[in-house]
Structure 1
Amino acid sequence: MIPFNKPYLTGNETKYIEEAVKSGKISGNGIFTKKCQHFFESNYGIKKALLTTSCTDALEMAAILINIKEGDEVIMPSYTFVSTANAFVLRGAKIVFVDSRKDHPNLDESKLEALITSKTKAIVPVHYAGVACEMDAIMALAKKYNLFVIEDAAQAVDSYYTGKDGVKKALGSIGHLAAFSFHETKNIISGEGGLLAINDEQFVERAEIIWEKGTNRSAFFRGEVDKYGWVDIGSSFLPSEIIAAFLWAQLENLEKIQSVRKSHWENYYSKLKDWALENQIELPRTPNYATNNAHMFYLICKDLNQRTKLIEHLKEKEILAVFHYISLHKSPFYSLKYNGKPLLETDRFTDTLVRLPLFYELNFDKVIDVLVKSNL
């Protein structure tokens, strides 16, 4: 069976973990944590980066930082993972869902302004498949209505957006805050793991306190205060040095990993183009303002029946392909709370999107061969 995903090891993960253990400090915020954080700050123009135990934790930190409270409204796509919404629901927010674009699962920026009310506190764009949302439009709305923008960049490591000014910016460096994931299904992994990107100076000091369980412990270890104590709310968001050591081995090899993944993606695209056209299947689209980080290769089937047939056919040939998100506005938890308009594009992607295997050691020739010989 060709799995949907297979974690790739660069070879230095266990070596660095052993180094971390021998250093006598494995509880976090040691040498490997600092290396990983500096990597994001120096390579992607992020003002302050903080490793977290997951992208979910990074999003929850963001919700705390912008002081989400009961009655606040947060706008986000319905076509996303539950963590995007949970982070704000936990603080008492009402989630206002926006539909996806017709040409891409990303949120439709043209439908945002109509959803903004006096209670709106933030917009949370999700860069689906590592492809940028239209950030100029989103940031302009945020400025106009005094809102925060929190990028869900879980899938978007090493991906970029070029605005109307021609400046190319890394995803995660544009909004006031952003969250990345290093879950084993992502391009760069540490099993579980995440990172909070802080791009607005006003949040830097408090973020570090929230990260350290609500204490000013980090300031104490830098010699900035003579003792540390409980100064704010917070939680145990800081990961162990073992996770950071594993992640550093991956980040060192980011260029190599990305090169191979992009090659797989391009092979899929070029060799499936004619087959997709014959079967009325759409291939992924990358807007001209975005780059493709090869996080995912997906197909958009013409209907649910075709997708079901495709997944079953691949499984019979020992290839695991999977669908993706179920519309959050129709979820068992939130459907009774949602009283907005139908989200037709979101529901279309829920019913028709299928993800093909994509990982470093993939034998993509077999997947392509099975697909091009199939008639759906």
Structure 2
Amino acid sequence: MDAAAWHMQAMTPPPELPDPMTKAQWSAWSETARASYVRAFRVAMRARPFASPIHERVAERMTASLGSALLEPAGARTILALSAPFSAGKSTMVKAWAQHLHRSVLAGSAPEFLPRWNPTPGLSADTVPVSYVTLLSDSRGTDLYAQLLNFANKDAGGSVRAVVQFAIRALKTHGTRLVVIDDAHMLRTTSVTGRATLNALKHLNTELGELGGVLVLVGADLTGGDVLADPQIRGRLAQHTFGPYEIDTDDGRRAWQRFLKAAETTLLPYLPDNSPGDIAQGLAEYLWIRTTGFVGDASRLLIDGTCHAMNTGQRLDRFAMDPVAVSQRAHDAQQRVELLRRPLALAGPSAGGEDE
């Protein structure tokens, strides 16, 4: 992804949801019209996340940490970090969070073109308030700076020193104030290359701080990993973390039901045979067993289940969602949960008759 594609994503609203239909209107439509309607509903729904209390709470805390970091003096500033398990929605969340910041800076600009500004008299440049790059496996420090240059559509050729200097100059020229590095868990300091990349991150934090910006690291299970264990980084770290929804505590069950209630509010207008509480209460346990609390799987299950219910004229229940495929991770976790929940069979009499 480059800055233009990032800007397009950030500034383009998701497809509009079709207006809900009554049962009478639905019955009057042809099979072709119904199929087209369901496709439009599915596309629009999959393009927008359901409100999630866990993710929203972490996003609010990250915004507060960012606001505090931006008030710090120029130089090495607080580093924000987001750690979550694989598939918990961390990249989706942080992209939405960073793109919201992007829109707040460039509000009103057209999606097709990055607005331009004049960093110095006589010089015009694209405005790139946020840079978003993904750390590659075995990346060198130079690779990190080259990715920043590529994001700004700049040539990354030249010596190591030149690439570093060009990248820092590009951040200044394009007005970048937030650099998000995803998949930071790829960094391993057990190798010379990994240690050099870690040093490059610390150098980037200092240089970005001199420009008034902040560095954000995102990765799977960063907590306790190589990057966040570095003493210099820990001394400047504002760490945020979340996991899937859990239902083994009262607070966890309430949070899970709040997530399902938000989804239910969105879906019920398209489910005339369902009533309030059918999803958030009646299906809460079923949905958790199918997804073990991972929002991505839960969203897919609810949306595709709703589409199945609409196509067949059924209500949304477990029979409408049973055929919906979820990730292999969710399938494996469901099998483990069901095995733990399976009652132990009572032992029958021994082959020898009476107990000895």
Please identify which structure carries the higher helix content.
Answer: 2
Fold conserved (TM > 0.5)?
A: no
TM-score under structure 1 length normalisation: 0.25
From the CA coordinates, give the structure whose radius of gyration is larger: 2
